[in-house]
Amino acid sequence: MDIQNSFDGMPDRLPPPTGNGGAEIMRSADRKRRKAPPVKETAEDRQQSDQTYGIAADELRQFVEQFEQLDAEKKDLTEQQKELMAEAKARGYDTKVMRKVIALRKRDKDDVAEEEAILEMYKAALGMM
């Protein structure tokens, strides 16, 4: 077995040494990585930060609650649509065709006319007319 291949998948760096010496080495390396000296956070800074996060949390909560309200309204509307289609079906209407009519009414009239003309042309070419 090749020793080099036995290390495949192993990290390139060794873990930091344990004990007191390891902590000092890590602090030294950390100081070298930092470009600016650390800024001391005051009580006023913490209070301002807490107020900012408090305001952001309140605003976030409002957005979430509004979204949930709209979601509940959407579910109610979907239920009403199902009930309406069930009533139409009970009165003898073909709900599948009704849904197609509703979809067509949403589309641009010129696009629908062009699609229908092409459909007629294809049907004629296949002898379906």
Supply the range of the domain harboring residue 59. 44-92
Please indicate, yes or no, if residue 8 is contained in any of the structural domains: no
Specify the pLDDT at position 68. 98
Specify the pLDDT at position 129. 87
Contact assessment for residue 16 and residue 22, using Cβ atoms and an 8 Å cutoff = yes
Query: Does residue 86 share a domain with residue 99?
Result: no
* Whole-prediction pTM: 0.51
Residue with the bigger pLDDT between 125 and 5: it is 125
Specify the pLDDT at position 126. 97
* Helix locations, the chain, DSSP H: 3-6, 20-33, 43-90, 95-106, 109-125
Contact assessment for residue 89 and residue 95, using Cβ atoms and an 8 Å cutoff = yes
Query: Does residue 110 share a domain with residue 71?
Result: no
Query: Does residue 88 share a domain with residue 49?
Result: yes
Specify the pLDDT at position 41. 76
Please indicate, yes or no, if residue 127 is contained in any of the structural domains: yes
CA-to-CA distance for 123 and 21, rounded, in angstroms? 84
CA-to-CA distance for 66 and 60, rounded, in angstroms? 10
Query: Does residue 71 share a domain with residue 102?
Result: no
CA-to-CA distance for 125 and 129, rounded, in angstroms? 9
Mean pLDDT of 118-127: 96
Specify the pLDDT at position 94. 98
Give tens-digit pLDDT for 6-24.
Answer: 555 555 555 555 555 555 6
Number of domains in the chain: 2
Please indicate, yes or no, if residue 102 is contained in any of the structural domains: yes
Specify the pLDDT at position 14. 53
CA-to-CA distance for 97 and 91, rounded, in angstroms? 14
